């Protein structure tokens, strides 16, 4: 039996079935029998079922096997053949075909089958957009009223009630998402579902929920950053070598070079600082390689010398390493300039490239004119010039005989295609700029569309992972590799990460910096990764956030509050606690002598002895926060007030206010007089206050400047402000407390940084000040700022604590 299982596993694995699918089938004899029978049918209808099958066909064949494992399905072999020959391409079509077969037990009539299963019905992306626009326009008022509450049902209904059910599901979803965004703008506070008293669940339902909670955690584990590789989009990617090639020898050479390992790459353009959206790309590419014991390149796409600066190269490398990843190799697209040039000549010699002298406006017209005009596309007049002529002109471009925009090398693709990425894209252009690495050696530079797939091929990338805006580019990616008959990596697309309530545009951030609205590109109120790092967000929290969101093909719009909640959960488990007082008032215990001194042990984190503890001084003087005192008491107030007894954290006896002194100029309370109640029977107080002892000889308190950051913009969509995004700036986005104090445990926290220790920050070099992280009790999570000096400590608030129901 074991031998049979091994043989079956080997057969299914050879065909390309995922390990999980194979294991599930082997566990269920009916499923396994049905699946093997379907594969036999596929073999009888096609003579090439020997090697690995396309991934979508494997999914469809398995679905067919599951549908027929309990009850025989009439005409199943007909459906199997339709899957193999490409008539059934989507899960929706296969489901419809199965339903038709069940309802039509007699001989299948091709016309009826084709109509029921949507065979031959295809939609271009543009056609999907138009149909979705029509659908949403008919329901515009209802959508404007209920906003994003209708997003999910609209996607479902547009597929269920129109023939768009046969269209690519991702195209439909993206079209609906785009129309909602265009109509409503990004999500804002109106789209947050708030639970009120009326939302209370019946007692019985609460009990059931509680029972379920035993098996189902309420929140994701913030310290887990790998589950995204085990399921969904990344879990279903092909195995190395599973990407089809124009020649089988290319696959064999590729596997020999890689040893069957996963190879990915992170290819940023070094023309700006990375932002929060790039963290997902880093986590996906480096993380997927690491999870599969593979390798990931850091490749700088440095083909635009006019926009590149050395500081961006340095910053990108630092951010990748800060996030805990080590590149397999650091490469540059410019490493391959000669090889790319040689392939460009090869493309011309194969009559798949030509030199064009059209203006930008002329090329625009060739491609149909402005969007919505739907003009007729036509070929460039230079497209069919002799090969030798294009080759000579291309060499003239190389030799500097043309100025910028006077000549281009274009790829000879398919101007009749419905995909704009096939409309004779530019491969090379003339640029009058020196390159940071090659100097003045080159007068021409390759474009992204020419460079990207070829560099992937040179580096034997197994999984070219990018965001969904490059879906249409996949066809041109594949076309170029096949046209040159070189190894073709498989491009796979996932949804990008967007945060609402902030600005990501380099041009707009530059405006904020240049006009003094923020300090610099690393101002903690921004969402560049250098700013997030300076703010004190740990790299592990970012990876946890990306993992928590998961990786799908859907573009993600996330409110900044959700990001902060994820960071807060991470910090809750990983950093120590200290007493931090923003606006201190001195309290004098009149019944204790001037030389009274006690040392009190305080844990860095209650109930977590691994974090250790520290000693703090308790004398006849200490500080509390101004917000913890009132001049006049009231019944619903439980903190310090005249005549009221309150507790101090970790101090054995209560204190009672006897009086206070005001500053004559400001009228503010500057000193509180109190009694230490060590001579009366202890009665547990309703409130315990945080405090910091006054013991200058012990270095207590530690003086600091605390910067509390709030949202930089007032709305979730700053660009929707009719007066421009600058008019949406929050005037209270930063609060500075220049006379704040912290307890002396801070020195130990600083000595033991980074917090948490298991981060990319601990790489053998001196750790940055932002790694000194802690929770300031009742105030928020903080980290040291890079502007701190020996004379002045500056703290940045990373995120607030969880919201309180009320502060009494």
pLDDT of residue 1: 46
Q: Which of 173, 490, 496, 797 is catalytic?
A: 496
What per-residue confidence (pLDDT) applies to 713?
Answer: 95
Catalytic residue from among 55, 147, 239, 269 = 269
Is residue 751 annotated as part of the catalytic site, yes or no? no
What is the per-residue pLDDT across 439-466, written as a single tens digit (0 to 9) for each?
A: 999 999 999 999 999 999 999 999 999 9
| Domains 2-117 and 225-494 in one fold | no
Contact at 8 Å (CB) between 462 and 263? Answer: yes
Q: Which residues, at least 6 apart from 18, have a Cβ–Cβ distance to it below 8 Å?
A: 58, 236
582 neighbors 628 (Cβ within 8 angstroms): no
pLDDT of residue 197: 46
d(CA 466, CA 487): 19
Q: How confident is the model at residue 372 (pLDDT cuts 50, 70, 90)?
A: very low
pLDDT for residue 675 is more than 90: yes
> Considering the entire predicted model, what is its pTM?
0.73
> How many CA atoms are closer than 13 Å to the CA of 82, on its beta-carbon side?
27
Which one is the CATH code of 2-117: 2.40.160.40, 1.10.150.570, 3.40.47.10, 1.10.8.1290? 1.10.8.1290
Q: 348, 412 in Cβ contact below 8 A?
A: no
Each domain of the chain, given as residue ranges in start order, spans 2-117, 125-184, 225-494, 506-574+704-742+753-799, 580-700
**Tens-place pLDDT, residues 555-565:** 878 899 999 99
CATH for the stretch 125-184: 1.10.10.2420
Q: Tell me the pLDDT of the chain averaged across its residues.
A: 89
Q: What is the pLDDT of residues 197-224, one digit of tens each?
A: 444 444 444 444 444 444 434 456 666 6
pLDDT tens digits for 62-95?
888 888 887 777 788 889 888 888 888 888 888 8
CA distance 158 to 139: 11
Highest mean predicted confidence (pLDDT) among 119-123, 140-144, 356-360: 356-360
Largest CA distance in the chain: 106
The whole-number pLDDT of residue 69 equals: 82
pLDDT tens-digit readout, 632-663: 999 889 999 999 999 999 999 999 999 999 99
Set 506, 698, 750, 778: catalytic member = 506
Helix, strand or coil, per DSSP, at residue 774: strand
Phi and psi, residue 493, nearest 5°: -115, 135
Q: Where do we find the tokens 């101004």?
A: 626
Q: How far is CA 555 from CA 143, 467, 527, 549, in A?
A: 20, 8, 18, 11
| Euclidean distance between CA atoms 534 and 524, whole angstroms | 6
Tell me the CATH architecture of domain 506-574+704-742+753-799. Beta Barrel (2.40)
Phi-psi region of 141 (alpha: psi -120 to 50; beta: other; left: phi over 0): alpha
70 to each of 25, 37, 74, 81, how far by Cα in Å? 14, 13, 13, 21
pLDDT band at 131 (very low <50, low <70, confident <90, very high): confident
Task: Pick the range with the lowest mean pLDDT from 174-183, 241-250, 374-383.
Answer: 174-183
580-700: CATH topology is Ribosomal Protein L25; Chain P (2.40.240)
Compute the average pLDDT of residues 105-120: 85
φ, ψ of residue 62 to 5 degrees: the values are -65, -40
CA distance 252 to 642: 84
Packed helices 310-322 and 276-291: angle between N→C axes, nearest 10 degrees? 60
User: Residue 346's pLDDT band (boundaries 50, 70, 90)?
Assistant: very high
Torsion of CA 320, 325, 328, 331, to 10 degrees: 0
> Which run of H or E residues covers position 30?
helix 29-45
Q: What is the pLDDT of residue 734?
A: 96
The H or E element that residue 635 is part of is: none
Q: What is the pLDDT of residue 520?
A: 95
- The model's confidence at residue 692, banded by pLDDT at 50, 70 and 90, is very high
Catalytic-residue membership of 506: yes
- Annotation marks residue 256 as catalytic: no
What is the pLDDT at residue 50?
A: 52
CATH of 225-494, picked from 3.40.50.620, 3.40.50.1460, 3.40.50.970, 3.20.20.70, is 3.40.50.620
């Amino acid at each position: 039996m074991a031998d049979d299982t091994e043989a079956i596993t080997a057969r299914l694995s050879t065909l390309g079935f995922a390990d999980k699918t194979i294991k599930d089938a082997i566990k269920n004899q009916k499923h396994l029998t049905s699946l093997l029978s379907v594969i036999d049918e596929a073999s009888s209808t096609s003579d090439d079922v020997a090697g690995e099958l396309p991934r979508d066909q494997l999914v469809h064949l398995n679905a067919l096997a599951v549908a027929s494992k309990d009850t025989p399905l009439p005409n199943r072999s007909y459906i199997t053949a339709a899957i193999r020959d490409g008539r059934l391409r989507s899960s929706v079509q296969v489901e419809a075909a199965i339903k038709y077969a069940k309802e039509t037990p007699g001989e299948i009539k091709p016309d009826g089958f084709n109509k029921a299963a949507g065979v031959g019905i295809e939609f271009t992306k543009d056609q999907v957009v138009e149909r979705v626009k029509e659908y949403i326009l008919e329901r515009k008022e209802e959508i404007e009223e209920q906003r994003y509450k209708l997003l999910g049902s609209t996607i479902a209904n547009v597929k269920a009630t129109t023939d768009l059910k046969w269209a690519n599901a991702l195209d439909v979803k993206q079209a609906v998402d785009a129309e909602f965004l265009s109509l409503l703008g990004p999500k804002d506070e109106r789209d947050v579902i708030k639970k009120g008293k009326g939302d209370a669940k019946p007692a019985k339902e609460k009990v059931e929920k509680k029972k379920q909670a035993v098996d189902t955690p309420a929140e994701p584990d913030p310290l887990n950053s790998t589950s995204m590789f085990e399921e969904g989009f990344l879990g279903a990617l092909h195995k190395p070598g599973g990407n089809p090639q124009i020649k089988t020898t290319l696959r064999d050479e590729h596997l020999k070079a890689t040893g069957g390992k996963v190879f990915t790459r992170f290819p940023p353009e070094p023309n700006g600082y990375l932002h929060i959206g790039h963290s997902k790309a880093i986590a996906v590419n480096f993380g997927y390689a690491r999870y599969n014991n593979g390798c990931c390149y850091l490749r700088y796409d440095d083909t635009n010398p006019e926009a590149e600066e050395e500081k961006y190269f340095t910053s990108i490398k630092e951010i990748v390493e800060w996030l805990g990843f080590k590149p397999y190799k650091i490469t540059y697209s410019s490493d391959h300039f000669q090889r790319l040039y040689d392939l460009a000549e090869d493309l011309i010699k194969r009559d798949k490239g030509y030199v064009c002298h059209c203006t930008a406006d002329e090329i625009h017209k060739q491609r149909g004119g402005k969007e919505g005009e739907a003009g007729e596309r036509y070929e460039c007049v230079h497209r069919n010039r002799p090969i030798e002529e294009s080759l000579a002109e291309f060499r003239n471009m190389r030799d500097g005989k043309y100025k910028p925009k006077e000549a281009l090398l274009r790829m000879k693709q398919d101007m009749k295609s419905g995909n704009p990425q096939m409309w004779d894209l530019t491969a090379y252009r003339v640029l009058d700029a020196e390159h940071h690495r090659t100097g003045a050696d080159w007068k021409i530079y390759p474009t992204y569309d020419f460079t990207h797939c070829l560099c992937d091929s040179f580096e034997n990338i197994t999984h070219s992972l990018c965001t969904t805006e490059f879906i249409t580019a996949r066809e041109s990616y594949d076309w170029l590799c096949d046209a040159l008959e070189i190894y073709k990596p498989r491009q796979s697309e996932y949804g990008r990460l967007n945060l609402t309530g902030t600005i990501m545009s380099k041009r707009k951030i530059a405006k904020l910096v240049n006009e003094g609205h923020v300090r610099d590109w690393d101002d903690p109120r921004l969402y560049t990764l250098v700013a997030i790092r300076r703010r004190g967000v740990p790299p592990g929290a970012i990876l946890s956030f990306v993992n928590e969101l998961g990786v799908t093909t859907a573009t993600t719009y996330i409110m900044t509050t959700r990001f902060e909640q994820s960071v807060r959960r991470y910090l809750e488990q990983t950093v120590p606690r200290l007493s931090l007082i923003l606006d201190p008032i001195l309290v004098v215990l009149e019944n204790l002598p001037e030389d009274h001194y006690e040392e009190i042990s305080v844990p860095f984190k209650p109930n977590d002895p691994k974090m250790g503890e520290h000693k703090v001084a308790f004398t006849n003087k200490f500080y509390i926060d101004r917000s913890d005192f009132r001049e006049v008491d009231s019944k619903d107030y439980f903190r310090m007030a005249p005549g009221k007894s309150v507790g101090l954290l970790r101090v054995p006896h209560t204190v009672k206010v006897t009086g206070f002194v005001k500053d004559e100029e400001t009228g503010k309370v500057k000193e509180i007089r109190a009694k230490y109640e060590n001579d009366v029977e202890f009665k547990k107080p309703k409130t315990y206050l945080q405090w910091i002892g006054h013991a200058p000889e012990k270095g207590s308190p530690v003086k600091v400047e605390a910067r509390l950051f709030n949202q930089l913009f007032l709305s979730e969509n700053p660009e929707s402000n009719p007066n421009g995004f600058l008019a949406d700036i929050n005037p209270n986005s930063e609060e500075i407390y220049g006379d704040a104090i912290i307890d002396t445990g801070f020195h130990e926290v600083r000595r033991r940084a980074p917090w948490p220790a298991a981060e990319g920050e601990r790489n053998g070099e001196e750790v940055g000040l932002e790694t000194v992280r802690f929770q300031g009790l009742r105030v928020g999570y903080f980290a040291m700022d890079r502007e701190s000096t020996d004379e002045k400590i500056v703290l940045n608030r990373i995120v607030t604590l969880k919201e309180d129901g009320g502060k009494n």
